[in-house]
Amino acid sequence: MSNNAAVTADGGEIGRAQALQARAAGLAPTTDMNPVLLKPESDTGAQVIVQGSRFATMKARDYARVKDTLLPAVLESFHRLAEGVDLVLVEGAGSPAEINLREGDIANMGFAEAAGVPVVLVGDIDRGGVIAQLVGTHAILPAADRDRISGYVVNKFRGDIALFAEGSGEIARRTGWRDIGVLPWFAEAWRLPAEDVMDLARPGAAGGPLKIAVPRLGRIANFDDLDPLSAQPGVHVDLVEPGRALPGDAALVLIPGSKSTLADLALLRENGWDIDLAAHVRRGGHVLGVCGGYQMLGTEIADPDGIEGPPGRAPGLGLLDVRTVLAPAKTLALTEAQDIASGAPVSGYEIHLGQTEGADCARGWLRLGDGRLDGAASVDGRVMGTYLHGLFAGDDFRAAYLARLGAPGDTFAYEAGIDAVLDALAQHCETHLDLDALFGLAAPV
């Protein structure tokens, strides 16, 4: 379940965490790696993506009734992935201890049973009570599920691992499961792309004198746009929670993508962020809207088909002379472009509903590979919008854009840094886990 999605080469979408796992495995992401993706649109409902394409929008109760009908698609993806590879690691979603959700389960023990695969249980000691987590799960699981679990791992340990030897032994004694190892806290994990929006405020991010303010929208989506900025030396990304004003000393206000653009536009106004944004522009500040944020900057967003709720329209923030009409067809594409101002190459992806048109589109500031322009800009160039996600991952473009805001034009190798952290994490696992035992548990498909 995530609104932070990645676009695959075959034109589908999967969770960005699964795309990162593909990268760690040295593989191009495919829709089979995340056959069912839930994208929350409200507190009780979500868009259901099956094998990369929209299946339906459902309330949680309705999804619970139909999820078992999706198991054939999940198994199809699993067997397709297994062809031609040595090992498939399947990540469960949620907890196997949620026995109230066991019936019809397709993401934990239900899948493991259907696919005939063994299970290793991972406990998060950083949350506390890891012995109770693991032993308690053993106690409440049905016998068939309990017997399917072959081993356990204790994750995120801080301190002297020797002090946990007795605890680990007690888990093994009470459960009969094999001890695969205790994985110490991996301090560099914060450098990997954030899976959850709250990770954007994680300690260790670069920080610096150039402030970028980002309103924390209720249905913020595809916030991986912020990861390279959070890691950029000299830059401080300030994720502004509801109830707090946008800071007056920000050089840039970045309005991110949204899974529910009209609802988040209303939230933006409820918090007075529209007033803060207008004051920011009067002071000469810069504004960038990405995807849903781009749509909000226009004069109007129309939803004639009721995609996000009852059919209707809402006035936008009026900072760009553009208008957006939402439509059922979703644009999903990997995109190459060039920043017209600097000539820097830009790689990213599009994932949006609707089309945006208007006078300010004549000042599109990204040139696509086919020669078309993307985005829009105000006459003075201080307010800009684009549908292209992921553009700040490009080192040259990021340096050029931040230089316009007054930051030093230094570059650092963002993508190479991710690969280095993944390599270090792999070594960390190899050092502390019994990987021979783990791989030895794998069953033939």
- Can you read off the two tokens belonging to residue 165? 């030897």
Query: Which residues have a Cβ under 8 Å from the Cβ of 432 and sit 6 or more positions away?
Result: 161, 181, 182, 183, 184
- Can you read off the two tokens belonging to residue 282? 């009067």
Q: What is the DSSP string of 44-83?
A: SEEEEEETTEEEEEEEHHHHHHHGGGGHHHHHHHHHHHHT
Beta strands at 220-221 and 257-258: parallel, antiparallel or unpaired = antiparallel
| Residues 316/300, Cβ–Cβ less than 8 Å | yes
What gap in Å lies between CA 238 and CA 406, rounded to an integer? 17
192-209 burial, b if ≥16 CB within 10 A, otherwise e?
bbbeebebbeeeebeeee
Give me the helix-helix angle, 130-140 and 165-175, nearest 10°.
Answer: 0
Q: Which residue in the block uniquely carries the two structure tokens 């020669």?
A: 371
Catalytic annotation on 291? yes
What gap in Å lies between CA 139 and CA 97, rounded to an integer? 9
Percentage helix, strand, coil, to 5, in the chain? 40, 30, 35
Give CA separation, 99 vs 66, 74, 109, 346, in Å. 18, 21, 10, 46
What gap in Å lies between CA 140 and CA 361, rounded to an integer? 59
Query: Which residues have a Cβ under 8 Å from the Cβ of 98 and sit 6 or more positions away?
Result: 108
Catalytic residue among 286, 352, 389, 428: 389
Catalytic annotation on 429? no
Catalytic residue among 138, 280, 286, 291: 291
Return the amino acid letter for 200: L
Beta strands at 13-15 and 5-7: parallel, antiparallel or unpaired = antiparallel
Q: Which residues are catalytic?
A: 291, 389
